Amino acid sequence: MTGVRLTVGVEEEFLLLDAEKSQAAPAVDAVLAEVPDDLRGQVTREYLTSQIEINSPPGLDLRALRHSLGMLRSGIAGAAGRAGARVAAIGCCPVTGPEPPVVDEPRFHRMVERYGALSPGPGLNGLHVHIGVPDPDTGVQVLNHLRPWLPLLHAATTNSPFAEGRDSGYASWRSVMWARWPSVGPTPFLESHDHYEDLVSRLVASGAMLDEAMLYWYARLSARYPTVELRLGDVCPSLDDTILVAALARALVGTVLADIEAGRPAPRIDQPLLSAAHWRAAHDGLAGLLDDPADQRSRPAWHLFQRLFDTVRPELERNGDLELALPLMGRLRSRGTGASRQRAVYARTGDMGAVLDLVTIA
C-alpha cells in the first residue's frame, strides 16, 4: 500500500432541536421529508427520533469531502428549518426535556427490549471516519497499530461537557454515557482476522450484541465497507474540526501501513491502560494531560497531539492534505475543542440556550 492514496469517508450524527425551545425535538421524519432529493440517499435516521445522520461518499480528495459534508450539513439545516426544527452539532443534549421515542424500526425495538435504557435522553451523536484498507487481514493489523494513538483523536473531538443543565465535569459526557453499552471500548489486540471474527461471533452469542453492526469498539472493520472505521468521538461542532480529524485519521492509517510493510510490530498495550487513556481523553479533552503513546506516561495533551500531527505529516503531505490541515490545526489550537468553546460561551452568558446556539448549524 506504500504510495497509494487511501479513500476516506465520514458519517456525522446530529441532534434535532425545537426551533423555538431549547430542547430536543422528535422531528426526524418531518426533517427527512424536507431534505432535497439529491441529498436523500446520504441522510438517514439514527436510533432516536431526535437524531439525524449524514454520510459522505468515500473519496480521495479531502476538499471534495469538505464540499460534500458542507452541502449535507447545509441541506439538513435548511430541511430542519422548513420542518420547524434546527440541527445541533453536539455530542449529547445539555438540557432536560421530554425523552423522544426510538425510531420505529424492528432492530431498534429489539435493542430497547434487550438492553433497556442504556441511552437515556435525546441521543448520543458521534463522528465515524472510514479509511480504505486493502483486505481484512491488513485491516486487523492496522487496528492493532492504531490502538495507542486513538485517545488523542478521542480528546480532539470532545464536544459534550454539559448534561441536565450543568457542567458534567467531562469534556465528553457522551463518551461516559456511550460506554454503558456492553460492546463499547478500546479495540483489543488481535492475533488475526480469524481472531477478530471469533470475538465478534462470541460477543453475539453472549447477548452483548445483536449482530456485527453492534460492535462498538473505538476502531473496527466496517460491517458494510472495505474500511477501517474509527468511531470514538463526539460529532464535531464545525466542519473545520471534522476535516482535520478525517485528514489525521487517513494519514495515521497510511503511516501505520508503512510500519506494517516494514515489519514493525504493533505495541502491545494492556487493555486497562487503554481504557484509562480513553477515560482521561473524555474527561480532559485537549485541555489537560493524556497518556503518551510511546511510554504511557502522562504529558500535556496538546504536546502529544502536536506529536501526532508531526508523526503523520509526511502522509499528510503525500496525500495533498498538509496545506489544508495546517491552518485547521492552528484553528483548533487557538479555539480549543468543542467542549472548551461551549464552556467559554456558558462562562460568558450563563445561558444554556447560548450554548445550543453556538452548535446550531446555520
Q: How far is CA 141 from CA 184, 192, 225, 316, 358, in A?
A: 20, 8, 17, 21, 40
pLDDT along the chain (362 residues), means of 10: 83 96 95 96 96 95 97 98 98 92 95 87 95 96 97 98 97 96 97 98 98 97 93 95 98 97 96 95 96 88 97 97 98 98 98 96 93
pLDDT at 310: 97
SS3 17: strand
pLDDT at 135: 95
Cell numbers 434535532: residue: 16
Instruction: From 321, 239, 235, select the one nearest 68 (Cα to Cα).
Output: 239
H-assigned helices in 262-299: 271-284
For β-strands 8-18 and 51-55, DSSP reports them as antiparallel
pLDDT at 291: 87
DSSP string covering 168-214? -SSSBHHHHHHTTSTTEEPPPP-S-HHHHHHHHHHHHHHTS-SSGGG
166: Cα separation from own chain's centroid: 23
pLDDT at 2: 59
**Phi and psi at residue 100, in whole multiples of 5°?**
-70, 155
What structural domains and CATH numbers belong to the chain? 8-359 (3.30.590.20)
Instruction: From 217, 25, 205, 214, select the one nearest 111 (Cα to Cα).
Output: 214
What amino acid occupies position 237?
Answer: P
What is the sign of the dihedral through the CA atoms of 157, 64, 320 and 145?
A: positive
CA separation for the pair 145, 164 (Å, rounded): 38
Cβ neighbours for 340, distance < 8 A, ≥ 6 positions apart = 171, 285, 286, 287
pLDDT at 296: 83
Q: What global pTM score does this model have?
A: 0.97
The vertex-94 CA angle with 88 and 97, nearest 5°, equals: 95
pLDDT at 294: 82
Instruction: From 242, 258, 252, select the one nearest 219 (Cα to Cα).
Output: 252
CA separation for the pair 279, 290 (Å, rounded): 10
pLDDT at 121: 84
The cell numbers describing 144, all together, are: 492493532
